[in-house]
Amino acid sequence: MPAFDFLSVSADIKSMYLIAHITKKMNYYSLNKQAPNVSFKQAVVQALAPDRGLYFPENISPLKKTFFDQIEHFSNTEIAFEAIKQFVGSDIPENTLRSIIEETLSFDFPVIALDDHISTLELFHGPTLAFKDVGARFMARCLAYFNQDHNKEVTVLVATSGDTGAAVASGFIGLSGVKVVILYPSGKVSDIQEKQLTTLGQNISALEVKGTFDDCQAMVKTAFLDPELQNQMQLSSANSINVARWLPQMFYFMFAYKQINKKFSDIVFSVPSGNFGNICAGMMAQQLGLPIRRFVASNNKNNVVTKYLLTQLYQPKPSIQTISNAMDVGNPSNFIRIQEMYKNDFGRLKENLSSYSFSDDETRSAMLEMYKQYNYVADPHGAVGYLGCKAHLNKYPEDHCVFLETAHPAKFLTIVEDSIHEKVSIPSNILMLMDKEKKATKMVSYEDLKAYLLQM
């Protein structure tokens, strides 16, 4: 092929060059293999296959190497478009998909080098100050598009331990044809998170459940299996089992690569992991050809994957409460997608994925160390990611490890301030929230939820 000058052609022509081979429909199959294949649209609307399996794309076509070599000449919108286009297929017209992406990505994703071997990728510059904003905003806009000429409303159910509900509430506010019902455990989310969930109104309802996050999740699952509800309404989920929430997280790894690939080589990502949606999306980006040396799954003491990589035994456990609470997951729902990507080949997976687990004390010390050594204030989740980088660099000192800073430190104010012995400044949009009135409906049992949904 003759040399192709990327810099002198328009965005549209760049896209045509890169994706000319993929304008067809993308099919998704259920990982339980007992349900029919569906298109992107159905996978998004249903969230989970009828056999309760997670959907997975039927094929993954790598992008051209030139795209990654020249990535710094592409805008974030163009990069995201190239990454996600094949997974959406013909279900959304290209121009609409571009607008959806542009609206989704209306904030920054900066990489900050702490030294020559460690950087942080800050994913908390969106409206709710945690990384889940991108997936939630993308999914909301896809659903709105699919629902534009339907009379049947979609009711999106979300169980949250804090950040997911906030991101989904903010992402879905004001969307016509979509109602959002958020279940959160009473007294177990931070004040800021509760305000983010309960003060929006409009098409967003918050249900305050007497119980734990696991209880909320169980109520959502029961609703999905309830034939009476299924007859009455189209239920969907906005947890990371939904492909429209999961796949846009690929963008982060590409945006980071764009910023540092000319400065550093042998790039590794350390991803603070709970349900393993984010790291699984990073591994998808690598399948598309993103030149990443290895992934590190950084865990708190909820370490089923760390143990699996040591012993080859996958043993889910009830979750343990930690200071990095968004990662308190005892049975990560997306790990099965990683297994599928590697065709259950343990040896190949281990070549590309390491995992380490850290205690709350180690996490607090890491926050203090980063503050003293680099004058950087991290939240507890980012701190677990930082510890993962340090563990990796112990073995591979020449690599450059980027840890994902998944939440703004102000979201975990007391823990951070107690760890670094300094005050943390609170962003203005959060301060404004604190004066707003909380509106939530209390519930105790599944029957309460069902009655609530049927009268909506």
* Residues from 144 through 203 that contact ligand PLP (CB under 6 A): 163
Closest CA to 255 of 353, 51, 402: 402
Point out which span in 10-18, 142-150, 216-224, 269-277 binds ligand PLP (CB under 6 A): 269-277
CB of 37 to ligand PLP, least distance (A): 25
CB of 336 to ligand PLP, least distance (A): 13
Q: Where does residue 428 rank: exposed (0-12), middle (13-18), buried (19+ CB within 10 A)?
A: exposed
Residue of 137, 294, 381, 390 that binds ligand PLP (CB under 6 A): 381
DSSP states along 79-113: HHHHHHHHHHGGGS-HHHHHHHHHHHT-S---EEE
Q: Is 406 one of the binding residues for ligand PLP (CB under 6 A)?
A: yes
Q: Is 407 one of the binding residues for ligand PLP (CB under 6 A)?
A: yes
- Angle, CA 264 vertex, CA 259 and CA 269 arms, to 5°: 75
* Two tokens, residue 140: 């909301």
Dihedral sign, Cα of residue 204, residue 207, residue 213, residue 215: negative
Q: Which residue, 76 or 273, has its beta carbon nearer to ligand PLP?
A: 273
CA distance 257 to 293: 12
* Two tokens, residue 218: 């169980």
Element (H, E) at 401: strand 400-405
Strand order through the sheet with 111-113: 111-113, 118-122, 400-405, 267-272, 294-299, 353-357
Point out which span in 76-84, 192-200, 216-224, 266-274 binds ligand PLP (CB under 6 A): 266-274
Residue of 256, 292, 327, 393 that binds ligand PLP (CB under 6 A): 327
CA distance 84 to 97: 9
Residue 349 CA, chain-centre distance (Å), reads 21
Residue of 276, 335, 371, 403 that binds ligand PLP (CB under 6 A): 276
CB of 138 to ligand PLP, least distance (A): 14
Residue of 147, 217, 236, 275 that binds ligand PLP (CB under 6 A): 275
Residue of 104, 239, 240, 299 that binds ligand PLP (CB under 6 A): 240
Residue of 165, 272, 282, 388 that binds ligand PLP (CB under 6 A): 272
Q: Which residue, 18 or 326, has its beta carbon nearer to ligand PLP?
A: 326
Q: 369 CB contacts (<8 Å, ≥6 apart)?
A: none
Q: Which residue, 147 or 249, has its beta carbon nearer to ligand PLP?
A: 249
CA distance 275 to 142: 22
Q: Which residue, 119 or 128, has its beta carbon nearer to ligand PLP?
A: 128
CB of 239 to ligand PLP, least distance (A): 9
CA distance 32 to 50: 10
CA distance 194 to 221: 22
DSSP state of 417: H
Residue 257 CA, chain-centre distance (Å), reads 18
* Residues from 427 through 456 that contact ligand PLP (CB under 6 A): none
CB of 279 to ligand PLP, least distance (A): 6
Q: Is 41 one of the binding residues for ligand PLP (CB under 6 A)?
A: no
Q: Is 120 one of the binding residues for ligand PLP (CB under 6 A)?
A: no
Q: Is 301 one of the binding residues for ligand PLP (CB under 6 A)?
A: no
Q: Which residue, 276 or 371, has its beta carbon nearer to ligand PLP?
A: 276
Q: Is 319 one of the binding residues for ligand PLP (CB under 6 A)?
A: no
Point out which span in 250-258, 274-282, 299-307, 421-429 binds ligand PLP (CB under 6 A): 274-282
CB of 48 to ligand PLP, least distance (A): 16
Q: Which residue, 286 or 406, has its beta carbon nearer to ligand PLP?
A: 406
The stretches of 226-333 forming alpha helices (DSSP H) are 227-232, 243-246, 250-260, 277-287, 304-311
CB of 88 to ligand PLP, least distance (A): 21
| Helix%, strand%, coil% for the chain, nearest 5 | 50, 15, 35
Under 8 Å between Cβ of 329 and 269: no
Q: Which residue, 276 or 376, has its beta carbon nearer to ligand PLP?
A: 276
Q: Is 278 one of the binding residues for ligand PLP (CB under 6 A)?
A: yes
Point out which span in 60-68, 275-283, 287-295, 435-443 binds ligand PLP (CB under 6 A): 275-283
Residue of 30, 196, 239, 273 that binds ligand PLP (CB under 6 A): 273
Under 8 Å between Cβ of 386 and 118: yes
CB of 360 to ligand PLP, least distance (A): 15
The stretches of 396-438 forming alpha helices (DSSP H) are 413-420, 428-433
Residues near ligand PLP (CB under 6 A) are: 130, 132, 163, 240, 272-278, 326-327, 381, 406-407
